Amino acid sequence: MRVKILDLEFFSDSKQELLEDIFTRVKNNQKTFIITANAEIAMYARSNKDYLEIAKGADLIVPDGIGIIKGAKIQKKHIKERIPGIELMINLIEHANYNNEKVYFYGAKEETLNKMISNLKLKYSSLNIVGYHHGYHDDSDNKITNEIKTLKPDYIFVAKGCPLQDDWINKVIKEVDKGIFMGVGGSFDVISGNVKRAPKVWQNLNLEWLYRVLSDPKRINRYVALPKFVLEVIKDRRNI
C-alpha cells in the first residue's frame, strides 16, 4: 500500500511487510530503487522538479522520519510505522549474511567506510561484501558503475546524502541488470561508530531528530523545513 504525502507516494505498511516485499524482489532479480525520505526530503521534492521526477521513478519510498507519520495523521491517512533507513539497511544485511547474497557499499569518507566494513565483518562473519568505494569520487569515469555491472551485487547501499545518492542511483540503475539500490544517508557514519544513534528512550519518544540536533547543532538548518512541511500538509489537506 502507498500513501501520498505532499508529492511523494510512501510505503505505508509495516517494516516486516516491506522486508518481505524486498526479499521477493531480490529472489526475482528485480531491479529496485529505494529512497528513504523524511519531511525535509518531501519539502525538497516540492521545490525541486528534477528531484521530484527522480523520486517518482523510485520503486519504494520509505517513511524514515517521524514528520511523515505525523503529516499522514494530519491528513487522516494511515502509515503503519516509521521505518528508519538504518534499521532497514541492517535487516537487509542480516538477510544477505544468512543467504550469501552479494553486497556493495558506496559512500562516506574512506576512513568511515573502512571502519564500517570491519565492524560488519566482525558481526556478520559470512557477509559477502563484493566491493566498496568511498563517496568522494568523481563519478564521471563510471568506475563504480562498471564495477557494479561486473560484480552484480544483490544490494547496493549508497551513503552520499540526499540528493546526491538518489541522483546517482537514478542514473546507474538504468545501466545494470539487477540489484536493490538503497540511499542510506548518514548510516555508514552510524555503523562505523563515528556517530551515535539516539538512545532507545529518545527513539521511543519520537525525539531522535532532537538528539541529532543536540549532538550536531549544525544540523539545525535541516529542521527549519519542518514547520514549512506542516503548513504544506495542512494546505494540502484543504485541497484533498
Binding site for ligand UDP (CB under 6 A): 107-109, 135-136, 159-162, 164, 185-186, 188-189
Task: Please say which residue, 115 or 160, places its beta carbon nearer to ligand UDP.
Answer: 160
For ligand UDP, the nearest residue by Cβ is 135
List the grid coordinates of 47: 521545490
Provide CB contacts within 8 A for 105, sequence distance 6+: 113, 116, 117, 129, 131, 132, 133, 156, 157, 159, 188
* In the complex, minimum distance from the CB of residue 29 to ligand UDP, in angstroms, rounded to a whole number: 27
- Shortest separation between residue 80's beta carbon and ligand UDP, angstroms: 22
For β-strands 102-107 and 60-63, DSSP reports them as unpaired
Residue with cell 545501466: 175
The distance of closest approach from Cβ of residue 143 to ligand UDP in the complex, given in angstroms and rounded to an integer, is 15
Between CA 57 and CA 171 the distance in angstroms is 11
Q: Grid coordinates standing for 195?
A: 556517530
- CB 100 to ligand UDP: min, Å: 27
Minimum CB distance to ligand UDP smaller for 162 or for 225? 162
Residue closer to ligand UDP, measured from CB, 5 or 159: 159
CB of 11 to ligand UDP, least distance (A): 18
Nearer to ligand UDP, 104 or 188 (CB): 188
Least distance to ligand UDP, CB of residue 188, Å: 5
Is the Cα dihedral 160, 62, 47, 32 positive or negative? positive
Contact 156, 148 (CB under 8 A): yes
Q: Which is nearer to ligand UDP, 57 or 161 (CB)?
A: 161
Do residues 234 and 76 touch, judged by C-beta distance below 8 A? no
**Looking at beta carbons only, is 102 or 115 nearer to ligand UDP?**
115
Classify strands 2-5 and 32-37 as parallel, antiparallel or unpaired. Answer: unpaired
